[in-house]
Structure 1
Amino acid sequence: MNDVLDFHLADLAPADADSEYAEQRFWLSDLTVLAEYRATPYGSPSYVVAHDGSVTWGVPGKSQIAAIKVARDLKLNKFTVETAYHATVSFAQNWLIEKGCPPERMARVGDEFVNPADDLTVRIEQQVRESGTRYEVLDSRTSDFDPCETWTLARDSSTGQAPIRLFLEEWGQDVGTYTMREGAFADEDAARCWLKERSSPLPRPPEFRGEATALQTRAALARSDGASAMPKVGVDAHRTPPAGTTHRPNPGRSM
């Protein structure tokens, strides 16, 4: 087990068989910490998101992001370990937050790792991280080779319209960034068909399309308000520009 994952369990015994197995697995894993929160005092729980490189040696497609919670009972000299594997960091963070980790303590991943490529990726990750029990994970897959991607198929309990959501994360190892996008489907079969064929763009969630329309409407209203606030030219005002000026479209702008 990596030194940074020393949970100081040497003087404690596992509280149950699951915790004993989890501790043994730590020693066999190749864990790299991505985010963590170790509360004080010493007896408080620890929360860790880590990449498990040992998963790549096993069955292809398995999730590689480990979410780990360690709790210690110093009165009984025992510890408990809970773990869950996820395809993406944001789903692992969500799991730990639901297990009691303060959300603000689990929101950041170290700068030395691959970074999100754009604001939309950051927004979708935050949406997943703070979603509570909104998403029921149905399936996931991780690919380290062409294509370099992970996807998580989930059921969104907050909507009856296109409730099957596909979270697709793609990364470029040469540029050190990744993107995450959310797709919406009427049923699981449609989502799996899209994953197999990839013959059309990932369909956007209905609420995202609604937000885009609202933004366009607000922008149009803002332009309209700005125009109405301009002083109007009186009917007797000169209609020809002053000498030496011309009115012609800017060729670099669309009319």
Structure 2
Amino acid sequence: MRDVAFGLEGLFPADPPSLQARRTMWEGDLDLFASHSETRGPGRDITFLLAHDRSATWGIPGAPALRSLIIERDQYAGLYLFSVAPHSLTALGQAWLIARGCPREPILRLPDGLLEPADDATRALEEQLWSSGDGLAVHDSWSDLPATWMIVQDPAAEVLPVRVLLEVPDYDAGTYTLTEGAFVSVADAREWLEGDRDTPMPQPPGPGFTERRARAASARSPHTPDPAAGPCRERPPAGPDASGGPGRSR
């Protein structure tokens, strides 16, 4: 894994949220999965980062360990904006960054050595999640062996709006599967997760489900940082936990 460098030498936080977010992150604790940087004007640039936070190992059991970060720097003003969001699933960490103006290609390009999608169904579901932005409201999540799961609310779903996202690693094969189940309520979702999980999850209904979710995601206005605005004028909104698994590292 590559080391993370925030590039904040000589800069000061532009606002209290940036100071607080920066205090929660230490470069030495992060393993970089993907990044993208670009210039936003004279003396201004922005960096998008997806990383695994090793310090989560000593935190609350099952808590998200993936971090999505956005750092905006204004060298002339001597200021920076710093935003961070935790995630349980890599695809949702990527989606959070994409929704805030990060190009898809660099942030979807993960390093060698991580587990790979096991099948086309996993790839298709991740493709849906990349377009979800902040559209999934997270009720609960767990990031640890034997599986990572999330209970989320899908506002694009007309029926069975509560969804379970379940990621199961296969370290011998070097792969993982990601599946989705649809439930009437959070209680029903918890009941399935707390059972033996031998019964297949109810599938999202209707052939138009994917199209409805895509339309709902496109209807939301994703936050794209204004190249004409420096860090002291605008900050990218932080998202809810979206969730972070242990990075699927072998």
Q: For 1:37-56, what aligned pairs fall within 5 Å after superposition? A: 37-40=36-39, 43-56=44-57
User: Is the 2:52–2:65 contact (alpha carbons within 8 Å) kept by the matching residues of 1?
Assistant: yes
Residue of structure 2 in register with 1:100 after alignment: 101
The structure having more radius of gyration, on CA atoms, is: 1
Secondary structure in 1 matching 2:167: strand
Counterpart of 2:8? 9
Answering whether residue 121 of structure 2 is matched by residue 123 of structure 1, we say no
How far is the alpha carbon of 1:195 from its aligned partner? 0.5
Q: Is 1:176 paired with 2:177?
A: no
- Structure 2 counterpart of 1:239: none
Q: Report the AA paired with residue 84 of structure 2.
A: T
Cα distance change, pair 117–31 in 1 and its aligned pair in 2 (3 A): same
Q: Which amino acid aligns with 1:126?
A: E
Residue type matched to 2:55 in 1? S
Mean Cα deviation higher: 86-95 or 42-51: 42-51
| Partner of residue 187, structure 2 | 189
Overall identity of the aligned pairs, in %: 36
Counterpart AA for 1:102: P
Tell me the SS of whatever aligns to 1:22.
helix
| Equivalent residue number for residue 166 of structure 1 | 164
Q: After TM superposition, what 4+ stretches of structure 1 lie above 4 angstroms from structure 2? A: 208-211
Indicate if the aligned counterparts of 2:6 and 2:27 stay in contact, CA closer than 8 A: no
Q: Could you tell me how far apart the structure 1 residues matched to 2:106 and 2:157 are?
A: 29
For residue 67 of structure 1, what is the amino acid of its counterpart?
S
TM-score (structure 1 length as normaliser): 0.74
CA-based RMSD? 2.2
Worse overlay, 171-180 or 20-29? 20-29
Question: Which of 156, 159, 167 is the equivalent residue of 2:154?
Answer: 156
What runs of 5+ residues in structure 1 fail to find an aligned partner?
212-255
Q: 2: distance between equivalents of 1:115 and 1:37?
A: 22
> What is the rounded CA distance, in whole Å, between the counterparts of 1:31 and 1:172 in structure 2?
24
Contact 1:35–1:48, Cα closer than 8 Å, also in 2: yes
Q: CA-to-partner distance for each residue in 1:25-58, whole Å, 9 max, x for gaps?
A: 3327621111211123662211111111110111
| Cα offset, 1:209, TM superposition | 9.8
Distance verdict in 2 for CA 1:210–1:124, change over 3 Å: closer
More helix by share: 1
Greater relative CO, 1 or 2 (CA 8 Å, sep 6+): 2
Contact 1:66 1:86 in 2 (8 A): yes
The CA distance in 2 between the partners of 1:8 and 1:54, in whole Å, is 21
For residues 69 and 102 of structure 1, the distance between their equivalents in structure 2, rounded to whole angstroms, comes to: 13
**1:75 counterpart SS class:** coil
Q: Give 1:14 deviation, angstroms.
A: 1.4
| Counterpart contact for 1:183–1:202, Cα < 8 Å | yes
How many residues were matched structurally?
A: 207
Question: Who is 1:217 aligned against?
Answer: none
Aligned-pair CA distance for 1:77: 0.8
Distance 1:91 1:210 in 2: 19
- Any conservation in 2 of the 1:103–1:130 contact (CA below 8 Å)? no
SS in 2 for 1:182: strand
Per-residue displacement from partner, 1:67-113 (whole Å, max 9, x unpaired)? 00001122211101100001011111111112221233322222332
Alignment CA distance shift 1:179-1:46 (3 Å): same
Q: Which residue of 2 aligns with 1:78?
A: 79
Q: Is the 8 A contact 1:136 1:155 kept in 2?
A: yes
Q: Which residue of 1 aligns with 2:66?
A: 65
In 2, the alpha carbon distance for the partners of 1:153 and 1:208 equals 22
Counterpart of 2:18? Answer: 19
> Which ranges of structure 2 fall in alignment gaps of 5 or more residues?
211-250
Task: Give the 3-state SS of the residue equivalent to 1:162 in structure 2.
Answer: coil
More off after superposition, 85-94 vs 171-180: 171-180
